[in-house]
Amino acid sequence: MRHFFRRKSSCQVAKDRLKILLISDRVNCSPEIMEQIKLDIAKVISKYMKIDADNMEIQINAKGNKSGRGGKMPSLYANIPIVDVTGQDLAFKQ
């Protein structure tokens, strides 16, 4: 019984999987392009602070505002670990 209550229903699992699946389907963005976007973002941010480009991740999800069909507008989400915040003068050097 306890085991049952803890487990997510398969319906919920299906909904969660579909949400992610349909966003990538609708955006129609290839992994190569995503990688290119990631590299370009890293390049720009590196101008201003020291980041850990190897551990940064980007993804497209539905956190944005309402759009026509499918409820939410997809948005680009980037997680960029900063190694050194104090290196502000880095910007002036480049």
Partner 1 sequence: MEKQFSPEKKNSQVIVVTSGKGGVGKTTTTANVGTGLAKLGKKVCLIDTDIGLRNLDVVMGLENRIVYNLVDVVEGNCRVKQALIRDKRHPGLYLMPSAQTRDKSSVSPGQMVKVIEHLKEQFDYIILDCPAGIEQGFQNAIAGADRALVVTTPEVSAIRDADRIIGLLEANGFKQMDLIINRLRMDMVRRGDMMSAQDVVDILAIPLIGIVPDDESVVVATNQGEPLVGSSSPAGQAYANVVLRVEGKEVPYLNFDKGISFWTRVTGIFHKA
Residues near partner 1 (CB under 8 A) are: 1, 4, 9-12, 14-15, 17-19, 21-22, 25-26, 69-71
Nearer to partner 1, 71 or 81 (CB): 71
Residue nearer to partner 1 on the CB measure, 25 or 52: 25
Could you give the residue ranges of the DSSP H alpha helices within the chain? 2-6, 10-27, 31-46, 90-93
For the bound state, the minimum distance from the C-beta of residue 36 to partner 1, rounded and expressed in Å, comes to 24
Task: Provide the minimum distance between the beta carbon of 58 and partner 1 in the complex, in angstroms, as a whole number.
Answer: 23
3-state helix, strand, coil in the chain (%, to 5): 50, 20, 30
Smallest separation (angstroms) from partner 1 to the CB of 19: 8
Instruction: Rank residues 18 and 39 by Cβ distance to partner 1 and give the closer one.
Output: 18
Spell out a b/e string for 45-75, using b for 16 or more CB atoms within 10 Å of the CB, else e: beeebebebeebeeebebeeeeeeeeeeebe
